[in-house]
Structure 1
Amino acid sequence: MADVAKDPASQFGVQLNATIGEKVQPVANDVVATAVTAQDIPGKVATATGAAITDANIPALVDEAAGPAVTAEATEQLPALVTAEVALRVPPAVDTAITGADIPGKVAIALAAQAGKILQGTGMPNGVVTAGVGTLYVDTATTMGASVWRKATGTGNTGWTVMEGDTGWRTLTSWDSAGVVSGAPLVAGMTPTPGSAGFIRIIRTNNDVGPVISGATFTASTSYIDLPAGFGPTNPQRKTLVALGTLALSCSLNSARLFIDNIPAGTATGTAYGASASWVTNRDWPTTLPGTAA
């Protein structure tokens, strides 16, 4: 039997084509009016957009679809626009802008607000500032060389100890090469070395204390140095007074004096050697600094 369905000239083929035409509209003829080929795509798009598409006007057509074209001027304005948007969305964390100069102040305020554990003021806190144990106090004036204090005991305004302090070298006694003495007088058993300027100095750094003697001649087997308040050891002790030469002298300490003993007569410090020692103290920080700054 012949395949009359595939023969458009047959009566059955004509009827089939008519039926398909009613049910399925030809896409090429009815949607775009004519079949679309690669050659006429620009024309079809031009009909839809109202203008022919060329290499030159593609950007303009894109701009028309996407909005205003991005210009160099708009690009330059982008950082300012971003900054303004961020400012609207992220409010500042502090009331005013923080500069390099006021960062320490802002930090101090923030720390002080944390349970009052860090305080700030001018002058020594002992007898003045009331706080709980563990509180730190910063003396902005570094009075008597002490800058940071810690509340060690009690709940009142006493019990403060120095955490960070440095008196610097203090000259208790000095003399020139002619033997003219300034400051505290030299004690018995010690005299200026002829032709040599010299001094007796002392320093306290936190809880460490150290004296130094230079340019002196011992005229007796014993001598001593009076220790200013706040510079004596916690407990009486014996030390070795170390010389910068071959001599080492023994010494003993109490809260008020450093005793030097077993000194060979005529022993001199200065050109040949100087002498120094060191010890630890937990005595109150001095309320006045002795002598003069070196």
Structure 2
Amino acid sequence: MGHIVGGRHDNDPGTTPYEFGHGFWEPGVFFSLMSIEQSNNRDLMWSQPEENYGTAHWNDVARVWTLSAPDVAAYRSPTTPPSGDLTVTIHGPTNMQHKESCEFQAEAYFDTGLANPCTNCTYSWFEKPTWSSTWTNMAVSTPTILYTLFDHPGADLRVDVSSSTQSASTSITVLEGTTAGCGLPPGAKAGLGTDSNTDVASAGPTVNVYPNPAHDSVVIRMESGESVPIHLAIYDVLGRLVTELSPSNNSGRSTEVEWHIETQKPGVYFLRTTFAGGATRVNNIVIRR
């Protein structure tokens, strides 16, 4: 092509055209057929890589490929899916107190062990009472779930895991019994806030919350008696502050408070109410989706 289009063999006037035996495209200053659009021309040169001139020229195609060879050689195609059978294990307590909340974690890996985890697996969690054969989808798709035990005498948790090519499932039975030390049962010391070492709050009733997917907030209604709540705060089961709330309505002996829960996971939370006079009360707030 260089012989025909470029009209010459080399752009170095000091060398013999036949020394390299390859052609070159040149800008229009050499009056080749490419000079019609000189501004769009490119100095594309071909030479043998072993020749000093060709491989030393900054715009020489052979030199570019020579310098790029290590990068090309080092390229690795995307890794293939790990071999072996997909396995999933649930880590969590097998005994919990009634209404206690604990964290359960599913680990999916191939049969070479945890050193070969499934990094692109999807998760689906299910629950049922131990006496039932019907599983309920918990609508949780993360490897970790916060679960509250309500069923007597216990419950079964199941997780289904899928990779791009395989699927696996396992379950765990959680029986009602001694506390696993995960959460705060009703009437227990409220380990919530900076004064948790000395403050023992009374236990209020459990409030179940069923969010409407069309709204990002729920209204929690509680009996407040003669006292007037002056501060409300919600904590997770680890005692971390989630949010502080303000009563939206105090009518008679009841209190209403609105909580925006669009980002909150299902599970148990604790609403701590401080009343005028210093008394405190903790309600279990259970989000069910």
Superposed pair shares fold, TM > 0.5: no
Instruction: Flag the structure with larger Rg.
Output: 1
Q: Larger strand proportion, structure 1 or 2?
A: 2
